[in-house]
Amino acid sequence: MTGTGSIGRRLTFLLAGVAALLSVLSWGMVTGLALEAAERTQDNVLAASATTIAETLRSEQGQVQLELPYSAFAMLGAISEDRVFYLVTAGEEMLTGYPDLPVPQLGPPSPGRVVFDTGNYRGAEIRMAMLTRLVLAGAQPVPVTVTVAQTRNGVDAITGELSQLAATLAVAFFLVAVALSFFAARTSLRPLNEIARAVSRRGPSDLRPLRRDAPAELAPLLAALNRLMARLGQSIQRSEDFIAEAAHRVRTPLATVRVQAEIALRSIEDEAQRRRLRQMIRAVDESSRSAEQILDHATVAYRTDDLARDRIDLAELARQTAKALEPTAAMKDIELRLETEPAEVAGDAVLLDSALRNVLDNAIKYSPEDTTVRLTVSTDGGEARMAVSDQGPGLGEGPAEALTERFRRGSNTEGIVGSGLGLTIVDDVLRAHGGRLELGRVKKGEGACVTLVLPLA
Partner 1 sequence: MRYLLVEDNLELAEAIASRLAMDGHAVDHAASLAEAEDCLATADYDLILLDVMLPDGDGRAFLKRSRDRLEVPVIVLTARSRVSDRVDALDEGADDYLTKPFDFSELEARCRAVLRRRGGSARNEIALGAAVFDPMAGTLCCGSSTVELRNREIRLLEVFARHPGQILSKGQLMDRLFSHDAEVTENAIEVYVGRLRRRIEGKGVRIETVRGLGYRMDTTAP
What is the contact surface with partner 1 in residues (CB under 8 A)?
Answer: 243-245, 247-248, 250-260, 262-263, 265-266, 269, 271, 274, 278, 281-282, 284-285, 288, 291-292, 295-296, 299-300, 303, 324, 326-328, 330-333, 350-351, 353-354, 365, 369, 415-417
Q: Which is nearer to partner 1, 211 or 266 (CB)?
A: 266
| Beta carbons within 8 Å of 206's beta carbon, 6+ residues apart | none
DSSP string, 247-294: HHHHHHHHHHHHHHHHHHHHH---HHHHHHHHHHHHHHHHHHHHHHHH
Q: Which is nearer to partner 1, 12 or 362 (CB)?
A: 362
Provide the minimum distance between the beta carbon of 197 and partner 1 in the complex, in angstroms, as a whole number: 26
Q: Which is nearer to partner 1, 218 or 254 (CB)?
A: 254
Provide the minimum distance between the beta carbon of 14 and partner 1 in the complex, in angstroms, as a whole number: 49
3-class state of residue 147 by DSSP: strand
Residue 144 CA to residue 147 CA, distance in Å, equals: 10
Residue 391 CA to residue 329 CA, distance in Å, equals: 13
Provide the minimum distance between the beta carbon of 358 and partner 1 in the complex, in angstroms, as a whole number: 10
Q: Which is nearer to partner 1, 82 or 428 (CB)?
A: 428
DSSP string, 107-124: SS--TT-EEEEEEEETTE
Q: Which is nearer to partner 1, 166 or 300 (CB)?
A: 300
Q: Which is nearer to partner 1, 52 or 424 (CB)?
A: 424
Q: Which is nearer to partner 1, 88 or 429 (CB)?
A: 429
Q: Which is nearer to partner 1, 63 or 299 (CB)?
A: 299
Provide the minimum distance between the beta carbon of 439 and partner 1 in the complex, in angstroms, as a whole number: 22
Provide the minimum distance between the beta carbon of 350 and partner 1 in the complex, in angstroms, as a whole number: 5
Contact between 138 and 59 under an 8 Å Cβ cutoff? The reply is yes
| Beta carbons within 8 Å of 75's beta carbon, 6+ residues apart | 45, 48, 49, 52
Q: Half-sphere exposure (CA, 13 Å, Cβ side) for 254?
A: 16
Q: Which is nearer to partner 1, 299 or 379 (CB)?
A: 299
Provide the minimum distance between the beta carbon of 436 and partner 1 in the complex, in angstroms, as a whole number: 21
Contact between 118 and 143 under an 8 Å Cβ cutoff? The reply is no
Contact between 30 and 163 under an 8 Å Cβ cutoff? The reply is yes
Query: Would you tell me how many other CB atoms lie within 10 Å of the CB of residue 356?
Result: 26
Nearest-10 crossing angle of helices 422-432, 349-366: 150
Distances (CA, A) of 407 to 23, 141, 422, 425: 70, 124, 9, 11
Phi, psi of 159 (to 5 degrees): -60, -45
Provide the minimum distance between the beta carbon of 199 and partner 1 in the complex, in angstroms, as a whole number: 22
Q: Which is nearer to partner 1, 126 or 351 (CB)?
A: 351
In 3D, which of 296, 217, 295, 286 has the Cα closest to residue 258?
286
Provide the minimum distance between the beta carbon of 403 and partner 1 in the complex, in angstroms, as a whole number: 19
Query: Would you tell me how many other CB atoms lie within 10 Å of the CB of residue 148?
Result: 30
Provide the minimum distance between the beta carbon of 444 and partner 1 in the complex, in angstroms, as a whole number: 18
Residue 159 CA to residue 147 CA, distance in Å, equals: 25
Provide the minimum distance between the beta carbon of 432 and partner 1 in the complex, in angstroms, as a whole number: 13
Provide the minimum distance between the beta carbon of 187 and partner 1 in the complex, in angstroms, as a whole number: 41
Q: Which residues of 74-111 are buried (b: 16+ CB within 10 A; e: fewer)?
A: eebeebbebeebbbbbbeeeebebeeebbbbeeeebee
Question: What is the DSSP code (8-state) at residue 386?
Answer: E
| Beta carbons within 8 Å of 420's beta carbon, 6+ residues apart | 406, 407, 408, 409
Q: Which is nearer to partner 1, 21 or 255 (CB)?
A: 255
